[in-house]
Structures are given as structure tokens and as C-alpha cells.
Amino acid sequence: MPWAEEMLPVINNFGVTEFVTKGFASIAATEQASEAPKRREHQLASLTAIADHEQRKILQPLIYEDVIFQGVLDIQEKMEFVPWLPKRLAAFSTACDVEDERLKVQMTEGHLYDENDRMEFITHIAVKYHGLMADETIYMENEISSIATWSNNS
């Protein structure tokens, strides 16, 4: 990528941020919680805090602030009706898309390059993921295990 050489300074050399601190504090709270509902609450808080860090502190300055990339995303957004083009979608599957509405979240409003719009989308994804990990544990663990093997296939 054209930004590779300048990457580390742009993202503060992967320095600790308020989101990382909050995420790890939530992990510690998860470990200390004795009741399952409280543990799950802390798990979701950790997930969303780490997602905030990834999206706002890493991906936003690296890719989403690039005007050319924003143009590509605008075109993608306008062309989502075309069947073979990718949608702004997260599928909880090894496939890019699934028919089962329970296993996907699609962004229907806003722009991916707008960090607040994207974080609303990411939050919906996190909440859905969190629910699926509780309600469809075996399915989710199988999908994650399958994805984990991909690095061995390259």
C-alpha cells in the first residue's frame, strides 16, 4: 500500500489509547465477575472498546481518510443493488454473504469512511456477534475454527 512506510507514526506506533485501556479494564472486570450476566456485559464492553481503537485509531487514519478510498466506497455504496458487487455487510460465516438474516448485519445508512457512521455499524456487528456467541456457540466456534485454518492455506 502507498502508505506503508508512513504507517507507524500515523497510528502512534501502536501506542496505548483510551480505548485499549478501557478494553483491557473490561477484560479484568470479566475475570472478576462472578455472575454470568455481568461477565457478558464486561465482555461486550471489551469487544466494543477494542473495536473503537481499531476503527478510530488505526483504520481511520490509515485508510478511511484517503480521498480516493472514500470515492471507491461511495461508488460501492451506490452500486450495492448489483448482485455480484460487495455490500457493506458483515456475515458471521466463512462465506461473504448468507441468506439467513440472523447471521449478518448490513450497513444501510451512512458512509463507511465516516468514523461515527462506521462505529454505529460496528456496534451493531459487535452486539450481533456477542449474541451469536451465546446463542449459537457451536456454529460460531466452528466458523472461527475454519477461519483460523486459512493462514495455513496461503
Give the mean pLDDT of 110-120.
Answer: 97
137-148 and 115-135 helices, crossing angle to 10°: 120
pLDDT over 70 for what percent of the chain?
Answer: 95
State the maximum Cα–Cα separation within the chain, in Å, rounded to a whole number: 49
The single-letter code of the amino acid at 48 is T
The number of beta carbons lying within 10 Å of the beta carbon of residue 118 is: 22
pLDDT value for 96: 80
The CA distance from 58 to 27, in Å, is 21
Q: What are the domain boundaries of the chain?
A: 9-65, 80-148
pLDDT value for 101: 93
Distances (CA, A) of 121 to 51, 52, 109, 146: 11, 11, 9, 25
pLDDT in tens, 37-57: 999 999 999 999 999 999 999
> Where would I find the beta strands (DSSP E) of the chain?
89-91, 104-106
The answer to whether residue 112 scores a pLDDT higher than 80 is: yes
Cα of 52 vs its chain's centroid, Å: 9
The residue written with cell numbers 454473504 in the block is: 97
Give the contacts of 101 (CB within 8 A, at least 6 positions apart).
Answer: none
Distances (CA, A) of 13 to 1, 17, 52, 64: 17, 11, 17, 18
On average, the pLDDT of the chain sits at 92
Give the mean pLDDT of 104-130.
Answer: 96
All 3 cell numbers of residue 3? 502508505
All 3 cell numbers of residue 82? 448489483
pLDDT value for 111: 97
